[in-house]
Structure 1
Amino acid sequence: MTPPLAVDIDGTLTGPNRGLDPQVIPALREWDAPLVFATGKSFAYPVALCEFLALSPAVIAENGGVVYVEATDEITYAGDPEAVATVAEAYRDVGHDLGWGAVDFVNRWRETELAVSRESPLAPLETIAADHGLEVVDTGFAYHVKPPDVSKGQGLELVADELDLDPAAFVAIGDSENDVSTFEVAGRAIAVANADDAARAAADEVTDGSYGDGFLEAVEGLQDV
């Protein structure tokens, strides 16, 4: 029986250049069970991905800050946008830039958290975030500032409830620290070979393949069961 999936995007469905690996498209479109995209990207990105793949959106965006399931027509928000905005302002006030240039598409549609380039200084960001009760999570692509009680795992519990499924029925696939919470909630957790130490330690298994190749290896193994 095909299990429901909770799958990360960056580093899991993409290559190292962050572009979607075209090899994964047929597997996603043909998956014969609920499919949830769980990402640190802002809400617009996974919804657009579903649109272009002709899939009914079930998404966990902004590391759990926004959850949407088209089947139930529900959007749920978590987080502290005011505190996040204050952190961004304070970070700029001490002379640091978010690192995305004048036209910041990374944060333009972000509603519940802040993403800062990994080229920008981490230590002052962590200090300022902590002063406002927030944490910084390194996803391997950006530093994300968010409340510590908001996570992809929390989002997966909500999605599972809306779909009338047990969270433990899901298989979670990812590559980063921000996927650990989904790994803990799902019944089975698979990290792709390029995963960071936190994700590898939390996973039940690690694929031989990296990025999109690792995702395909993981789902092929699930279909063989």
Structure 2
Amino acid sequence: MTPPLVLDIDGTLTRPDTWGIDPRIFDPLRAWDAPVVLATGKAFPYPVALCHFAGIPELVVAENGGVVYTGEEVHFTADPDAPRAVAEAYEDAGYSLGWGPEDTVNRWRETEIAVEHSQPETPLRELAAEHGLEVIDSGYAYHVKDPAVDKGAGVEAVADAVGFDLAETVAVGDSENDAATFEVVGHSVAVSNADEVAKAAADEVLETAHADGTLSVLERVRDGS
């Protein structure tokens, strides 16, 4: 039987040269005959759009668990006010979120904020702590979020709503925000470009990176090996 999947996006479904989605992932996901959950640190519209382009049902955990979509109902699991206050204080201190004036990274973000990697990390962490929040590094950005919220809890909520067994589920990811997902599934896989937190949390660490690694897992799991 084909197992359900939980897949991160950046660093997991992407190409190493551009960080764009590797188009080779579309056909296997479209043909997958079990639930596929996209669990990401990206803002909610991004994984929903990816589901559309892939032609798969919209099962989404976005913003590191802050937004959960079961295909029928959207759940917001964190309050946006504190992250926004951190962003305001960070900018008042003379720093920038790093995405330019239109900030399409945060424009549609509902429950957290993301700060570009070129920006100072230490003052961001200090401000986040003052507001009872944490900063996690997705490998793409620094995310200021509620510490009580994570991808794992979001994945559990989707599994409960859809009715699939997490013990039979395979997850693939690449960064510390995937560790919580790895804790709730039956088998977890870190691609070779994963950070040390993800590798330590995973049941298996691949020798191949990015979408190459993920595609190898999908092929192996589909073939039952």
Quickly name the TM-score band, shorter chain normalised.
over 0.9
**Is 12-21 or 109-118 further displaced after alignment?**
12-21
So what's the TM-score if we normalise by structure 2? 0.97
Aligned pairs (5 A) from 1:17-36? 17-36=18-37
Asked if 1:55 corresponds to 2:44, the answer is no
Amino acid at match of 1:46: P
* Equivalent position SS for 1:115: strand
Q: Which amino acid aligns with 1:85?
A: R
Q: CA deviation at 1:220?
A: 1.4
Query: Where in structure 1 are there 5+ consecutive unaligned residues?
Result: none
Calculate the TM-score normalised by the size of structure 1: 0.97
Same amino acid, percent of matched pairs: 57
Equivalent residue number for residue 124 of structure 1: 123
The alignment partner of 2:105 has SS state of: helix
Alpha-carbon distance in structure 2 between the residues aligned to 1:224 and 1:39: 26
Superposition deviation, residue 110 in structure 1? 0.3
Q: Post-superposition, which runs of at least 4 consecutive aligned residues in structure 1 deviate over 4 A?
A: none
Q: CA deviation at 1:91?
A: 0.4
Q: In structure 2, what is the equivalent of residue 167 of structure 1?
A: 166
Tell me if the contact between 1:173 and 1:190 (Cα under 8 Å) persists in the aligned partners: yes
1:171 partner letter: V
Unaligned residue ranges in structure 2 (runs of 5+): none
Three-state SS of the structure 2 residue aligned to 1:153 is: helix
Greater CA drift, 22-31 or 60-69: 22-31
Q: 1:1-225 alignment to 2 at 5 Å?
A: 1-16=1-16, 17-70=18-71, 73-225=72-224
Letter in 2 for 1:60: V
> How far apart are the structure 2 equivalents of 1:92 and 1:214?
38
1:6, 1:35 within 8 Å by CA — same for their partners in 2?
A: yes
CA offset at residue 207 of structure 1?
Answer: 1.5
Amino acid paired to 1:166 = D
In the aligned structure 2, how far is the partner of 1:42 from the partner of 1:193? 25
How big is the shift at 1:169? 2.2
- In 2, Cα distance between the equivalents of 1:8 and 1:54? 17
Does structure 2 conserve the Cα–Cα contact (< 8 Å) formed by 1:80 and 1:146? Answer: no
Q: Is the 8 A contact 2:48 2:58 kept in 1?
A: yes
Contact 1:207–1:217 under 8 Å retained in 2: no
CA distance in 1, matches of 2:37, 2:128: 29
Q: What is the CA deviation profile of residues 8-28 of structure 1, one whole-angstrom value per residue up to 9, with x for unaligned ones?
A: 000000012210011111111
CA-to-aligned-CA distance 1:83-131 (integer Å, 9 cap, x gap): 0110001001111000000110000000000000010000000000000
Which letter does structure 1 place at the counterpart of 2:70? V
Q: Distance between the aligned counterparts of 2:45 and 2:86, measured in 1?
A: 23
The offset of 1:166, in angstroms, is 2.6
Secondary structure of residue in 1 paired with 2:9:
coil
RMSD: 0.8
SS of the equivalent of 2:118 reads coil
1:189 is paired with a residue whose SS is strand
- How far does residue 144 in structure 1 lie from its aligned partner after superposition? 0.3
Deviations 1:114-160 (A, max 9, x none): 00001000000000000000000000000000010100000001001
For the 8 Å contact 1:35–1:58, the answer to whether it is kept is yes
**Alignment size in residue pairs:** 223
| Residue type at the aligned position of 2:7 | V
Alpha-carbon shift at residue 56 of structure 1 (Å): 1.2
